[in-house]
Structure 1
Amino acid sequence: MASIKLSVERLTEGLYIKLPLQWTDHPFLLNHFKIKDHQQIRLIKNLGVKFVYLIPEKSDNKPLDPETPVEEMSDDESQFLDKQAEKLWQEKQCRITKLKNYKRKLQRCEKNFDRSMSQLRSIVGKIKSRPVTAIREAESLVEEMVDALMESDNVALHLMNDAKESEDIYFHSLNVAIMSMMLAKSSGMPASDIKTIALGALFHDMGKLKVPTAITRKTTPLTAPEENYLKLHTKYSLELANIAEDFPPAAKPILSQHHELLDGSGYPQQLTAKKIDLKAQLVSVVNAYDNLCHPQDPSKARIPYSALSYLFKNKKEQYNSDFMALLIRLMGVYPPGSVVQLSNQQLGLVISVNSESLLFPNVLLYDPSVPSNEAPILDLEESDLRIEQAIPPSKLPEKVYTYLNPRIRISYYFDPND
């Protein structure tokens, strides 16, 4: 939107302005906002700036006439204003401290995610030659993740870094395991069932390692023989699990049934609702969501918001409706990875959702006046802004896309809130 340079002497309530300052150089929550009262005008003038940028399209009022007399400020007003400015600075400092703590938590979460990914690669590498060792290591990984999940009632789901194309199967498996665990916890399942689900989800697609990469990475439509070959991965996954006698029998249906659909249109056995294992029904919902976000043809990838909407509107007859509703509650209306436009028209990237405040995720804001590695993260619960719409990353201007760096591969990890 076009902006106009405006003298601070012409400010009045209802004007939407942008400050010509760094985010850390003023006490306001954001660099641009609509002036709501006379006190804000006084605070802006006290910043020592001679002008601001006016955005007429977003303003409810017109600037004061240039000839408007300047009001003098009394000593009492000045002292009151100083106290208000100090209060705002303290609040902002608390926000900055909170932001630093949040980024540290995010770094810790990334580290745990990378460690889990490394362990999963190692496990898969041993599944044929040392199956018993692989299963034990997988159970140890699952135990650790479930313990972390169960130790807190308030769990945040964070957006992780990008995957390497060659490791899609590992990221997909860990992604499905993470979301399935959270879904199982949300549905009230005990820790023992969550561990079974996590183990099944980790191994659900491992049979694809026996399918030629020319098929698993093909981006054009598969031929009928190729599609039939790919569908054999459920059989191959089960065969890999059967190599290890210690693989829990309760997790095996997840491997063989995660593509079965309630209406009988799935594979490999065209099972209907009552014959499909409940844990497999749970994993299949999560698997479908992640596959919509990351299909074999990247050009057909849906943004998280669109993937959830598509499942809810078009697949109710095929997937367990209770688990689907829980997934939507778990991910929030705008899941991590969604590029969104806020009510002040500012753009941002949803980077985490708090299970206790689904409508108020944490959003990394696009603000060209701040370096991208220092971009402010806004907790919507603590602001008067709201999300107006989700935006496909492909529709973003290049400079916004570069700044927000929306993930091509959307992966999640959880972190219990302290």
Structure 2
Amino acid sequence: MKKNKKIAVEQLEIGTFIRLPVSWKDHPFLFGSFKIKNTAQIEIIKGLGIKDVFFDPDKSDIQPVTSDNINTPKTDEHTLAALKEKMLLQKSEKIEQQQKLKRDLKKTEQQFTRSVAMMRSMVSKVSSRPLNAVGEAKELISNITNMLLSSDNLALHLMSDAKNDEHIYHHSLNVAMLCMLMAKELGWGREEVETIGIGALFHDIGKLKVPSTILNKRVELTTPEENYIKQHPLMSINFLKLADSFPDAAKPLIANHHEFLDGTGYPQGLKADKLDKLSQLIAVVNEYDILCNGSNQTKSKTPSVALGFLYKNYSKKLNAEYVSKLIKMLGIYPPGSIIELSSGQFAMVISVNLQQLLSPNIIVYDQLVPKDLMPIINLQDENMTIVRSLPAASLPPKIHAYLSPRDKISFAIGKN
């Protein structure tokens, strides 16, 4: 890796990657670091009143002009001023658009937080006030279904990390959201969308019967402990016997969410002919969320790696149509993915428009842009592409702190 060096602005060429030595608010560009795309950008930089910029040879397509070949053209000051004013206006408009997007994301986050609180309340009421718990769950699922079925312009947003004592609620909501979204994409009717949604909300409730010393154990489980945990789907069914208003149609998918088509799942080792389509769908989504969020004994995978892992390693265990649908629905780089851009910058995917999967919204690291103003951009709008996905742990500490990648991946559905 070559060290960045200072070069004169007269040495700039299209294809050189630079960092401006001025505050973000003192120039009209969206980023303080970027690859020069056209001569107009060079002219704008020359008009900033700076003599030098920092040149990054690793991210550049071309070396800067040598001093022997410098040919400084005369700049039309009026044209330059008009161009700069136009860029500043565009920058201001983009900042406003980004602030609106941030406000919308904040609303989605607040709704998600309320859903987590509702989830906690519902679970606490199952044994004492089962009718209330099921009624609240049906209302929550009905509201989500209304949003899903009334709009084709939906986005999947990345949410904040789960607190230590809320992982089960985040996981249950993740599975419910993705199952309902997939059911819609598969063309299922409202009744089936709601059935898989309410079943997913309560699919892990049996884990509340597992001692925390086993559930939160950070070393490998003993065989008896592992066998005990594997009974939690049936514990969930027993738990829900207290609620006679709980839909019978949702119970099989709760009992079977860890069953595999080849009979290697648990707790009953059922095979494909004994598993209905709702059970097969929740098994796919549940496994994906477990891979993303890991457990005390397993390491989390990045969202894109988790999708690839499912595709490569579960061909005999999970419904291939549903796995393919999940991959198609989330895109190659799902929310939470850490990516490197064609510009050489690092970014994190924060949401995907389900109708434009190749153009996710991302936040981009730029050391000259304050974190609270970090750009949320659409890849397509900025004419950038993704070079690769990478684990968050591989990010330099400064970039990691700026992007704040999630240890646990949680999703919420909102209108785009």
Same fold (TM over 0.5): yes
Residue pair 2:236, 2:254 contacting (<8 A) in 1 also = yes
Structure 2's unaligned 5+ residue stretches are: none
2:72 to 65, 70, 73: 70
The offset of 1:298, in angstroms, is 6.0
The equivalent residue for 2:204 is 205
Q: 1:232–1:61: structure 2 CA closer, same or farther, 3 Å change rule?
A: closer
Instruction: Quote the Cα distance in structure 1 between the aligned partners of 2:17 and 2:294.
Output: 42
Separation (CA, whole Å) in 2 of partners of 1:266 and 1:246? 29
Distance 2:17 2:241 in 1: 65
Alignment of 1:186-335 (within 5 A): 186-297=185-296, 300-335=299-334
Q: Is 1:125 the equivalent of 2:108?
A: no
TM-score of the superposition, structure 2-length normalised?
0.95
Higher mean displacement: 186-195 or 125-134: 186-195
Question: 1:219 deviation in Å?
Answer: 2.2
Q: Secondary structure at the match of 1:252?
A: helix
Offset at 1:250? 0.9
Shift of residue 374, structure 1, vs aligned partner: 1.7
Give the number of equivalent residue pairs: 414
The one-letter amino acid of 1:188's match is: G
Residue aligning to 1:341 = 340
The whole-number CA distance in structure 2 between the counterparts of 1:413 and 1:372 is 23
In the other structure, the counterpart of 2:13 is: 12
Paired amino acid for 2:387: E
CA distance in 2, matches of 1:118, 1:407: 20
- Counterpart secondary structure, 2:67: coil
Q: CA deviation at 1:17?
A: 1.4
Q: 1:172 maps to what in 2? A: 171
- Give the conservation status (yes or no) of the 8 Å contact 2:31–2:369: no
Which shifted more, 259-268 or 87-96? Answer: 87-96
Cα offset, 1:300, TM superposition: 1.6
**AA partner of residue 148 (structure 1):** M
Q: How much has 1:181 moved relative to structure 2?
A: 1.2
Question: How many angstroms does 1:127 deviate by?
Answer: 0.3
CA-CA distance at 1:125 after TM superposition: 0.4
Q: CA distance change for structure 1 residues 217 and 71 in 2, over 3 Å: closer, same or farther?
A: same
Write the letter of the residue equivalent to 1:277: D
Q: Tell me the equivalent position of 1:42.
A: 43
Cα distance, 1:69 vs. partner? 5.1
Bigger shift: 236-245 or 305-314?
Answer: 236-245
Measure, in 2, the Cα distance between the counterparts of 1:141 and 1:289. 23
Moved more, 10-19 or 280-289: 10-19
Question: Does the residue aligned with 2:380 lie in a helix, a strand or coil?
Answer: helix
Q: Does 1:350 align with 2:352?
A: no
Is the contact made by 2:220 and 2:297 (CA closer than 8 Å) also made in structure 1? no
* Pairwise CA distance, 1:32: 2.2
**What is the root-mean-square deviation of aligned Cα atoms in Å?**
1.6
Contact 1:218 1:296 in 2 (8 A): no
Distance 1:85 1:161 in 2: 38
Deviates more, 1:23-32 or 1:150-159: 23-32
Deviation at 1:130, TM superposition (A): 1.0
Structure 2 CA distance for aligned equivalents of residues 369 and 18 of structure 1: 9
Q: Percentage identity across aligned positions?
A: 44
Superposition TM-score, scaled by structure 1 size: 0.95
Query: Offset of 1:235 from its aligned partner?
Result: 0.9
Give a deviation string over 1:91-118, Cα, whole Å, max 9, x none: 2222111101110011000100000000
Q: Which runs of 5+ in 1 are unaligned?
A: none
Runs of 4+ in structure 1 deviating by more than 4 angstroms, as ranges, are none
CA distance in structure 1 between the aligned counterparts of 2:170 and 2:186, rounded to whole angstroms:
24
Give the match for residue 391 of structure 1: 390
Cα 1:100/1:309, change in 2 over 3 Å: same
Between the aligned partners of 1:388 and 1:298, the Cα distance in structure 2 is 31
1:28 positional shift: 2.5
